[in-house]
Structure 1
Amino acid sequence: MYVEIRKAGFVNKGAALMLHAALQQVQRNLPAAKVVMEPGRAKSPYPYVNRASLGLYQKAWLWRAGIPFGDLAAVVPAGIREQYGVVLDKEVDVVLDAAGFAYSDQWGPDLSEELARSSKRWKKNGSKVILLPQAFGPFRDQKSKDAVKAFVENCDLIFAREQISYDYLTEIVGERDNIKLAPDFTNLITGTLPSYFDPEIHQVCVVPNCRMLDKTGDSVAQGYVPFLQRATKMLVERGAKPFLLIHEGEGDARVAEQVSQAVGGLPILRETDPLAIKGILGACRGTLGSRFHGLVSALSQGVPSLATGWSHKYQMLFADYGFAEGVLNINLSDEELSSALDYLTDPAQMQALSTRLNAHSGELKTRTQAMWNEVFELIGQHGSTQLAKGVALGAGR
């Protein structure tokens, strides 16, 4: 059986964590399956060396002008393709889409249209298509709405990870048996703590996000860095020993440098291993973050956390953990910001919040496991059907 994991990646550490989480579940539940990933385009977030390091097969996948040139690999005999680890799109039995947040007008209609086009092809091939828990919408562009209608028809299971995303889908297509709710699925993954982490100097983790500069209105975009500078200065003054952690690329690093320099030179950790990043976020005393999966990593481990965000997914995440007030407006007064930071520095408030987060985390992990159980039950049914077809074909020869 070939199982494709798509739209996860390596540059964005949230996407990398989703890849590890999905890969871990496939290996545990389908040990004989071969996991496939497409190469992507130039400057892809799925470079060959990273795919190869995880033992992933390479899908022959190249679309240009709406034409699937990857199909040309079919002229190569199957034995040779296997030797080089190349898989045809039509050979994929199950597609697990781990986009996180791609299908929305905030990214334009192109990604939704690509999913509509590809899922139609997969359905025709007999592949099972499952959209793992992710955020959706809003969909106000007619092209996006048409694409949603198409991919909902073609997908076997679609998991919205919170109610707003669920509503954005169902307001277009109505309540459907294949559209369900399930939380972010990286909460089951265990992190690893790197040897250089020093709890004496790495105590409150600040995780910047350059999307706060280009996916928000002017007032938020212009106020974001000053907000982080105000907050980290207050943390320094409290002796909270803040440090910065890069969750994705140079854009986040530039924000981190501005914040660090403004408050006298804070430590900046640049970790490439997503499991180590989760380990760091689990070991620190508190987090002030703007990267969604960085916040999931902290909240799911009971670490007191505050956030700023650029889409509905942040508010809904904190609501899931029973701490809706943890998502901050960057225009808070100094007095209001100081009061919020007590959640990260006052021992009594920290302990009470950690207890609350851990209780909700346990519930969310149970729901995540139930989601995976449903996914693999569907895959098992599909595998049995494919096997029965193969036996019937063999008997008819």
Structure 2
Amino acid sequence: MKQISIIAATFSGNRGAEAMLCSTIARLRDRFPDSIFNVYSYYPNDDRLIIRDSKINIYNAAPMVLVFKIFFLSIPVWFCRLLKLNILTKYFPRSLRSLSSSDVLIDLAGVSFIDGREKFIPYNILSILPAVIMGIPVVKFSQAMGPFKSKINRISANYLLKKCDAVFARGEITEEYLQSLNLKSSICHSAADVAFLHESKDGLTHENEKYVSSIVSKLKKLKKKDRMIIGLCPSSLIAQKSRKSGWDYIGFLQDTVKLLNEKGYSVIMFPNATRDYDMAHLRNNDLPVILSVMKNISGSENIYVDRNINSVSIKSLISMCDVTVVSRFHAMVGSLSLKIPVMVLGWSHKYLEVMGQFGQEKYVFDYKKTDRDYLWLKMFDLIDKRKKESLKIGNRLNTVKKSSYSQIDYVIRLLNK
């Protein structure tokens, strides 16, 4: 029986992380059905409320716990193993015992070691350092990394990534950044995001499913009236960033909905991060943004999500759309995996390098640098060309999925050694 530990992803909150987590567990279970999965979550209490799987253990990996419990105690665990005093490890916390007895640690951070995000570097380090100390193989699944011009970022990434068994770059831009670190070729690999392997059967939570079914029914009725449906997925992160930069993101989204309505289109506004029990905060929670956008917009042609839904439900809503306009990375991945043409309003290279794999880079825009009129022009251009772009996406999808599976295959081979 294999014991597989996973860190830097949660079942609740960020639904892109949930999609990666569920996809990873499902594809490894295809090969190792009796495996035990240890999920180190920064929302452990929330995750425990929605996961009812006896072979999934959820442990606390909040930053302070990582520092004062898992990291510091990993050193004496290593010492006990070195002296062959394994009997003493039973006195350590269960979370640490599970990690120390794991066959592999999979890091599912969507982004790590990126210049300008130096405040997250300690978490990037502590997510994998305890496993490195205890001699557990570490595999960083497909993610965006770099650039590494910042001294602290470059030193941290250079040291930690060299300690990993494998590091998977999510696209060509990340590959180029990693090359600047001169890592061994045996460590550096490339793979598409693991969420491209996500299937509807992979869901591990059941959240407001009747509510989602009612929304899907409304969308089907609109389609019967020959209404085209445009999906909008905002980002609470960009809402926060744009507020600081003085750009009215909420106003832009409101005007976008109104403009689409004027042109005869219906709108479904959906989240890709939800915490409906914590509406006062925006972290990993797009719901307050959706409510702010839709509060002054009426009409049965517009539908929006106002509560927790999981990644399976999100994809069911995306599947009803003719085109999507998104600011969340995994809403983009969900659209591409369903061959739905998508326009992205984002903030880093992570969007561009994935859209480029489908020949869709012309529909990726930096929220800080693009004029709203130009964005609307490109949105309607995509709507006009949706059938052509959908075919282009479909022609490349199998290749991307094969690329995505390569990281699963790597772990399978590692576990079979």
State the TM-score, normalized to the length of structure 1: 0.82
Residue 142 of structure 2 aligns with which residue?
133
Q: Secondary structure at the match of 1:316?
A: helix
CA distance in structure 1 between the partners assigned to 2:184 and 2:395 by the alignment:
30
1:28, distance to aligned residue in structure 2 (A): 0.9
> Cα deviation per residue 1:350-375 (whole Å; 9 max; x = unaligned)?
21111011112122012112332223
Q: Secondary structure at the match of 2:20?
A: helix
Amino acid at match of 1:138: P
Residue 354 of structure 1 aligns with which residue?
390
Q: Secondary structure at the match of 1:258?
A: helix
- Report 1:62-141 matches (<5 A): 62-65=65-68, 67-68=72-73, 87-109=97-119, 111-116=120-125, 119-141=128-150
Q: Secondary structure at the match of 1:307?
A: strand
Asked whether 1:200 is paired with 2:230, we answer no
* Change beyond 3 A, Cα 1:6–1:174: closer
RMSD: 3.1
CA distance in structure 1 between the partners assigned to 2:230 and 2:75 by the alignment:
47
Residue 81 of structure 2 aligns with which residue?
none
1:271, distance to aligned residue in structure 2 (A): 4.3
5+ long unaligned stretches in structure 2: 78-85, 202-208, 224-228
1:91, distance to aligned residue in structure 2 (A): 0.9
More deviation, 322-331/364-373: 322-331
Amino acid at match of 1:301: L
Q: Secondary structure at the match of 1:183?
A: coil
5+ long unaligned stretches in structure 1: 382-397
* Change beyond 3 A, Cα 1:279–1:118: closer
Asked whether 1:17 is paired with 2:27, we answer no
More deviation, 48-57/16-25: 48-57
Residue 28 of structure 2 aligns with which residue?
26
* Change beyond 3 A, Cα 1:13–1:60: closer
Amino acid at match of 1:212: I
* Change beyond 3 A, Cα 1:175–1:366: same
2:414 to 366, 378, 388: 378
More deviation, 61-70/26-35: 61-70
More deviation, 328-337/145-154: 328-337
* Change beyond 3 A, Cα 1:215–1:140: farther
Q: Secondary structure at the match of 1:370?
A: helix
> Cα deviation per residue 1:131-158 (whole Å; 9 max; x = unaligned)?
0001112333322222111212210010
Residue 210 of structure 1 aligns with which residue?
236
Q: Secondary structure at the match of 2:167?
A: strand
Contact 2:66 2:127 in 1 (8 A): no
* Change beyond 3 A, Cα 1:321–1:74: farther
CA distance in structure 2 between the partners assigned to 1:64 and 1:370 by the alignment:
32
> Cα deviation per residue 1:202-260 (whole Å; 9 max; x = unaligned)?
821110001113346855x5132232223222211122101210221343222222322
Asked whether 1:283 is paired with 2:283, we answer no
Contact 2:239 2:289 in 1 (8 A): no
> Cα deviation per residue 1:10-43 (whole Å; 9 max; x = unaligned)?
2111011111001101211222321111254xx5
* Change beyond 3 A, Cα 1:170–1:343: same
1:320 to 357, 360, 363: 357
1:75, distance to aligned residue in structure 2 (A): 6.1
CA distance in structure 1 between the partners assigned to 2:198 and 2:376 by the alignment:
32
Amino acid at match of 1:260: M
Amino acid at match of 1:231: T
CA distance in structure 2 between the partners assigned to 1:335 and 1:133 by the alignment:
32
Residue 389 of structure 1 aligns with which residue?
none
* Change beyond 3 A, Cα 1:215–1:176: farther
Q: Secondary structure at the match of 2:365?
A: coil
Which has the bigger relative contact order, CA under 8 A and spacing at least 6?
Answer: 2
Contact 1:139 1:145 in 2 (8 A): yes
Residue 270 of structure 2 aligns with which residue?
245
CA distance in structure 2 between the partners assigned to 1:325 and 1:217 by the alignment:
26
Q: Secondary structure at the match of 1:135?
A: strand
Amino acid at match of 1:93: D
CA distance in structure 2 between the partners assigned to 1:36 and 1:329 by the alignment:
37
CA distance in structure 2 between the partners assigned to 1:314 and 1:218 by the alignment:
22
1:259 to 293, 297, 309: 293
* Change beyond 3 A, Cα 1:90–1:322: same
Residue 371 of structure 2 aligns with which residue?
332
CA distance in structure 2 between the partners assigned to 1:229 and 1:38 by the alignment:
38
Amino acid at match of 1:35: F
Contact 2:15 2:311 in 1 (8 A): yes
Contact 2:169 2:189 in 1 (8 A): yes
CA distance in structure 1 between the partners assigned to 2:388 and 2:376 by the alignment:
19
Contact 2:44 2:58 in 1 (8 A): no
